[in-house]
Amino acid sequence: MKVFHDLQEWRRFKRTETLGFVPTMGALHDGHLSLIRRSQQENQRTLVSIFINPTQFNDPKDFQNYPQTLEQDLAKLQHIDYVLAPNAGQIYPHGYHYKVSEDKISNILEGAHRPGHFDGMLTVVLKLLNLARADRAYFGEKDFQQLQLVRGMAEDFFLDTEIVACPTVREADGLAMSSRNIRLQSREKAGLFPKLLKHPNARALLEEAGFEVDYIENWQGRTLGAVRLDNVRLIDNL
C-alpha cells in the first residue's frame, strides 16, 4: 500500500492499470470494505480516500464528534494499492468559495433537514473524482439520495468515471452499517429502525419506540427514513 498525504505527489503519480475509487470519511467498517472488495474485483488497482469533509456538516457538533481513526483505518487497508489522505487546506486551497449546487433533489429529504449538506458533499466528491481520475467509483445505496445526486453530477459534467452503486451492508439485526453507529448508546434499540421502517405506520411506531423522526417518505420506488437516537442521526432506505 502506498499512502499519499500530498495531493501534488498523487497528481504526479502515473499509472497504467484500470483504477477503482472508494471515497470515504474514515471510521471504516464492513460496508466500506465491501465497496473495496467490489473495486478489487472489477479493477486492476484500487484507491481509497480518507477525508472528513467539513463542508457537508450542517451541525458543527456533528463534525466535532465524527470519529477520527486514521491509524486504525490504514491498518484495515493493508491489502489495497493506494490511499489518499489529504488535509482540508489541500482540498480547499481557496477556502469554500467555489462549490457545486443542485437545486431540485437537494431540497428534499436530507436536504430539507440538513441545509447546505449536499452542496458540501457534491463539491468534495467532484474534487475527489477529478483527483482520482478513476475508471469507476463505488458508492453504497444506504445514502440513496446522495447516490442519485452523484450520478446526476457525473452525467451533467461529463465525468469519465462510472458511478457504481453497491447494496447496503447491514449488521446482524438489520441496522445499516454506518460510522456513526459506534456513538450509539442504545444499540439494541437502534436495530428496530430498519424493522419498523417497513411498516405502513412507521413514523408512529418509531416515535413510540423512542426515536425522533426527521422524515419517512416514499421516493423513487423506495421508502427512505431518517431518525435520531442518542443524539445520533441514522438514515436508511428499503
| Per-residue pLDDT tens digits for 151-169 | 999 999 999 999 999 999 9
The C-alpha cell at 29 is 467498517
| 94 belongs to the catalytic site | no
CATH number of the domain where residue 207 is located = 3.30.1300.10
**14/68 same-domain check:** yes
DSSP state of 93: B
Q: Which pLDDT score, from 0 to 100, does residue 208 have?
A: 97
Q: Which pLDDT score, from 0 to 100, does residue 68 have?
A: 92
The C-alpha cell at 185 is 448508546
Whether 48 is covered by a domain: the verdict is: yes
**161/204 same-domain check:** no
Whether 104 is covered by a domain: the verdict is: yes
CB 73 within 8 A of CB 26: yes
Considering the candidates 5, 29, 32, 97, report the single residue annotated as catalytic: 32
**93/189 same-domain check:** no
Residues 6+ apart with CB under 8 A from 41: none
**152/194 same-domain check:** no
**101/203 same-domain check:** no
**210/161 same-domain check:** no
Q: Which pLDDT score, from 0 to 100, does residue 36 have?
A: 98
Whether 137 is covered by a domain: the verdict is: yes
**204/161 same-domain check:** no
- Strands 222-229 and 232-237, bridge-based pairing: antiparallel
Distances (CA, A) of 200 to 141, 144, 227: 22, 20, 16
**188/162 same-domain check:** no
DSSP state of 168: P
Whether 26 is covered by a domain: the verdict is: yes
Identity at 7, one-letter amino acid code: L
Whether 171 is covered by a domain: the verdict is: no
**In percent, how much of the chain has pLDDT > 70?**
100
Which of 110, 133, 166 is where one domain is finished? 166
DSSP state of 87: -
Q: Which pLDDT score, from 0 to 100, does residue 195 have?
A: 97
pLDDT in tens, 167-222: 999 999 999 999 999 999 999 999 999 999 999 999 999 999 999 999 999 999 99
Backbone torsions φ then ψ of 147, nearest 5 degrees: -60, -45
State how far the Cα of 135 lies from the Cα of 154, in Å rounded to an integer.
12
- Looking at the structure of the chain, the number of domains it has is 2
Strands laid side by side in the 136-140 sheet: 2-4, 82-84, 45-50, 19-24, 136-140, 162-166
Residues 6+ apart with CB under 8 A from 109: 145, 215, 217, 219, 224, 226
**162/205 same-domain check:** no
CATH number of the domain where residue 77 is located = 3.40.50.620
**27/116 same-domain check:** yes
Distances (CA, A) of 34 to 17, 28, 37, 154, 230: 21, 11, 5, 22, 27
Q: Give the chain's mean pLDDT.
A: 96
Which of 112, 142, 166 is where one domain is finished? 166
Q: Which domain holds residue 100?
A: 2-166
Q: How confident is the model at residue 135 (pLDDT cuts 50, 70, 90)?
A: very high
**39/122 same-domain check:** yes
Q: Which pLDDT score, from 0 to 100, does residue 105 have?
A: 97
**89/186 same-domain check:** no
